[in-house]
Amino acid sequence: MSILLFTATGCARCAIAKKFMAEKGLACDEHDAIGAGKERFGQFYRAHRGAVFRGKEGIEFPVLAQGGEIRQGVAAVLAWLQCGSRLDGFICRSESSKGWVGGLHVSRGDPGEAERLAGVLGVLKRNGLKLQLDTDGRNPAVLERLLRQGIGDRVVMDLKGPQALYPALVGAPVDPQDVERSMVLAAGFPEFRYETTVAPVPAMEEGREGCRYLSPEEIAATARWLKEATGSYRQPYFLRIFDPRATADDRLGSVAALSPGELIRHRTAARNYQVLTEVQTIST
């Protein structure tokens, strides 16, 4: 199957993708989306608008199409070229900030593909890109492998909530020991932080409908868990406001967002166990 590749003039990440393809002996039909290939890309974008993400800073390149599949961003493109869809769970779309590659979700992929993941991320690392790894505590062996190989410049751990609610908040079975191991591993990376979104919890009692937000007491239990697992009460710990606009859960989309002021009690409760706790607001 032929490869269609859209790049942009002066795009360092596009250069990395083209270098990777040259090393693999892969040919492609390349078009400069902001130069001579602008009209061709415009046609492609209109035909595939749902598959090409346009963020606040525009469209991230490179964009690759092959056999009906579309991949966007250097990490996703390299992963596709290396092993097809095997790494799709690990590598997702993200808003890339300058110098950083995001959308790398340690917890979402097949742990049996850890070697391939390390190989792709290693290429990005060797080409001077900084990698942010996200985890919710699952797949700690994958996180440990990346730490051992020096792959990953920052880890953001999405600490969903207290241990008792963790499976419900993740939406899947979770081993608490995996979460605790990931807490410890995260602190071994050059940069790291822990975040908990003060999110709505769907009613789990039989016959009840609706949801409620995580309580200050539950946030305190989460902070205590972090302290007990890592042995430190001074971890970089942030409480995030739930954004109903960003949720894919239909049950939660109509929930009213909390204000930063409403999280003061949560922050106070958390500081009993993590003294550096702060509140982060959602982006508008």
Reported as a pLDDT band with limits 50, 70 and 90, residue 79 is very high
Q: Is the pLDDT of residue 206 over 50?
A: no
122 part of a folded domain: yes
Q: What's the pLDDT tens digit per position in 88-126? A: 999 987 766 677 999 999 999 999 999 999 999 999 999
Which DSSP symbol is given to 282? P
Mean pLDDT of the chain: 92
Q: What is the pLDDT of residue 251?
A: 60
Beta pairing class for 100-105 and 130-135? parallel
The three-class DSSP label of residue 75 is helix
Q: What is the pLDDT of residue 138?
A: 98
189 part of a folded domain: yes
Count how many Cα atoms sit within 13 Å of the Cα of residue 254 in the half-sphere of its side chain: 4
Q: Is the pLDDT of residue 207 over 50?
A: no
d(CA 267, CA 241): 12
Average confidence (pLDDT) over 19-28: 96
Q: Is the pLDDT of residue 53 over 60?
A: yes
Tokens of 22: 């040259």
Count of the separate structural domains present in the chain? 1
d(CA 242, CA 260): 10
Average confidence (pLDDT) over 33-49: 95
Q: What is the pLDDT of residue 247?
A: 65
Q: What is the pLDDT of residue 96?
A: 63
Q: What is the pLDDT of residue 134?
A: 97
3 part of a folded domain: no
34 part of a folded domain: no
Q: What is the pLDDT of residue 83?
A: 96
275 part of a folded domain: yes
Q: Is the pLDDT of residue 267 over 90?
A: yes
* H-state helical runs in the chain: 12-24, 38-47, 74-83, 114-126, 140-148, 166-170, 176-186, 216-230, 264-270
CATH number of the domain residue 191 falls in: 3.80.30.10
Average confidence (pLDDT) over 20-31: 96
Q: What's the pLDDT tens digit per position in 272-284? A: 999 999 998 654 3
Q: Is the pLDDT of residue 57 over 90?
A: no
Element containing residue 58 per DSSP (H, E): strand 58-59
d(CA 65, CA 3): 6
258 part of a folded domain: yes
Q: What is the pLDDT of residue 201?
A: 85
Q: What's the pLDDT tens digit per position in 123-177? A: 999 999 999 999 999 999 999 999 999 999 999 999 999 999 999 999 899 999 9
> Which residue type, as a one-letter code, is found at position 196?
T
- pTM of the model as a whole: 0.92
206 part of a folded domain: yes
DSSP string computed for 151-194: --SEEEEE--S-GGGHHHHHTS---HHHHHHHHHHHTTSSEEEE
Residues ≥6 apart with Cβ < 8 Å to 53:
59, 60, 72, 93
Cis omega (within 30 of 0) on the bond before 62?
Answer: yes
108 part of a folded domain: yes
Q: What is the pLDDT of residue 253?
A: 54
Domain that holds residue 275: 84-280
Reported as a pLDDT band with limits 50, 70 and 90, residue 209 is low
